[in-house]
Amino acid sequence: MRALHTLALLASSAWLLVSGQTDDVCRIQDRTYSPEAMPAGSHQPYDKLSPAVGGLSTKFYITVVNLTPHRLRLANTHSYQMDAFDFGDVPPGRARQNAVKYRGGLSRDDAGEAYYLVDGADQRFAVRVKSYSGPRPRRVVLDLSGMGLGQREYVFPGGDTAVSLVVAGSRRLGFRASLRHGPGNWMRGLYDVIGDRPVRHLVMPGAHDAGMSKITNKITSIGSRSNTQNQGVSIYDQLRAGARWLDLRVGSMAGLAVGNTGESLDEVIGEINRFTSESPGEIIFLPIRYLVGRYAFPDGGPILWGAAMVGEFFARLRGINNRCLDLDTSTGFQNHRASYLMDQNAGKGCVIPLLSGRLGAGVPRESPGDGIYDIGRMGIDDRWSDQMRADVMAPDQIGTWRSAVRGGAADHGNLVVAQWLVTPDAVAATAYSLQSFAIQPTNPSLYWAGVNGMDPEHWPNVVLVDYLGVQQRDQWAWDSLSAEMYTLAVGMNLYMASENCDVNRRRGPLRSAPKVSRGVPWNGIIFANGTTVDRPPPGIHPGRAAILRSGTVLGNGTVLAASVPNPWL
Ligand SMILES: *[C@@H]1O[C@H](CO)[C@@H](O)[C@H](O)[C@H]1NC(C)=O
Ligand SMILES: *[C@@H]1O[C@H](CO)[C@@H](O)[C@H](O)[C@H]1NC(C)=O
């Protein structure tokens, strides 16, 4: 099997022969990851979570994440009536939080553009910032039409917060950006890259409290949508958005429910099966916690499950398709090669329930013959910061994964689960909603603070978030989601981990071009109001300035004394 793959790799890589480089070996001197220091970024100040305060913000960020071997070079900028317009180069493997500050009020003329070149790839993209009248006045257009990756108009998710752009791939392999999601089975698309790696050398998105995408109020408590709903989209859409680690809490009440008041267990199973039938070949972990019954009133306390209840639970879990029966338990699951799991079920992959519960004595904790396992089968370091503020959580999480070296003699033996999420107290969660905590301070900070805390030797295996894929408040339709996390996962596996020659022994995939599914080419426009135009007429670039007006500041500091046609169109 292995030999066949290598052969196919060489055959499809004509350039190897041209360059005379016929050996498929990772070399440290080929590393492109840049240790260059990046300017410090800023977390959203806590008071800006309040719509009344955040609504007055004039300062915002556009984070650019570079998971390619090419430098993203700032070619030029121009800005008009902006008090700050600070953009810069983004070296390979790094992220830059670029800052803009509108002059104030809602002057409709505040605007600016930053033009980037992809070094060595003859590709370009632009970032456009502008004020508009009406709803959602401050918008950003990420224009990647010059790379064949479309355009998307974003609104900032809150005051002093960021819109993020993640770019992955390479000139040789083609690029991918976070404007929209790629194929559901992203792992299968990376089979040639990740197949030989142990699970503990993978990077996967995770969904925290994944079943809580709706509130069904099956128990009486102070829980409301605002303070208990952790996800905006269903399990099915979380999987399409890249999640491979679904954190589930199951309890019994009137039947088996996930998160007690979220989706029912049968709904969850139906959605997983729908996903795996459409997108086979993935590894999906279902860490399932609690396994306690509840009385209708929370202060009635938990009821431990007995053998009959566990039997009923296992019977339901047997409804999951592509379980992996009788996996090799002689080593921790984190040590299995990805291909061992992806090849199961005739290549349809694995869905692996990992149970941790409070069970009575003598009650079975797993059933390997059914593909149901105790969570102890996998070595996991799961770090929950239990912090309300993202600026406190972020260094704690980064410190956790930085203490685990990847590859080589010091290789960290366990799977590291980073919980990139905050835990507001009930008052704050009710006042501002968990959604606001997720999409304003927390998720955007992953793309500058988190990414700059990663390098080829240090990264988390699972990045667990709230409101996976949600970029704009209450915009939960599939087409309104944004693919930063999906693109981060692809780019981390394809680029960052591959730059580590103890993780990837072969020549970097971005140089030797294995077959990676790129999805259907698309160069459309997604507007902030959700309207998508798949085939726009040529020449449509929302927010573009055709004329640079008198008073425009150029990137080199020159202030135009007279209006001129924009020379960089
Ligand atoms: C959304 O915005 C675009 C561009 O401004 C506009 O052409 C379209 O009509 C809008 N759609 C809706 C439903 O408002
Ligand atoms: C600044 O850039 C503009 C446009 O490229 C150019 O015409 C001008 O000479 C530059 N000014 C300086 C001081 O370099």
pLDDT digits (tens, 9 = 90+) for 209-265: 887 766 554 444 445 666 668 888 999 999 999 999 999 988 775 456 655 456 788
Which tens digits make up the pLDDT trace of 7-52?
333 323 322 333 334 578 999 999 999 999 999 999 999 999 998 9
Nearest-angstrom CA–CA distance, 568 and 545: 10
Q: Residue 22's pLDDT is what?
A: 53
Contacts of residue 351, defined as CB under 8 A and 6 or more positions apart, other chains included, come to 272, 276, 284, 286, 320, 321, 322, 323, 324, 371
Does the beta carbon of 531 sit less than 6 angstroms from any atom of ligand 1?
yes
Q: Is 527 in the pocket of ligand 1 (CB under 6 A)?
A: yes
Alpha-carbon span 44 to 162, nearest angstrom: 9
Nearest CA to ligand 2 atom 14: 556
Sites in the chain below the pLDDT cut of 50: 1-21, 217-222, 254, 260, 295-297, 517
Query: Is the distance from CB of 231 to CB of 210 less than 8 angstroms?
Result: yes
The confidence score (pLDDT) of residue 253 equals 57
Q: What is the pLDDT of residue 132?
A: 85
Q: Which fold has domain 199-467?
A: TIM Barrel (3.20.20)
559 lines ligand 2 (CB under 6 A): no
CB-count burial class (<10 Å; 0-12, 13-18, 19+) for 127: buried
Q: Residue with structure tokens 């503020």? A: 389
CA of 164 to the centre of ligand 1 (A): 22
Q: Where are the beta strands (DSSP E) in 210-305?
A: 245-246, 248-253, 255-258, 282-294, 302-304
Top CATH class of 1-179+468-569 equals mainly beta
- Domain ranges in the chain are 1-179+468-569, 199-467
Torsion of CA 26, 29, 30, 34, to 10 degrees: 120
pLDDT recorded at residue 47 = 93
Contacts of 208 (CB under 8 A, 6+ apart): 230, 231, 247, 419, 421, 464, 465, 466
Listed in sequence order, the residues at least 6 apart from 221 whose beta carbon sits closer than 8 Å to its beta carbon are 298
**Fold identical between 1-179+468-569 and 199-467?**
no
Ligand 2 center to 153 CA (angstroms): 30
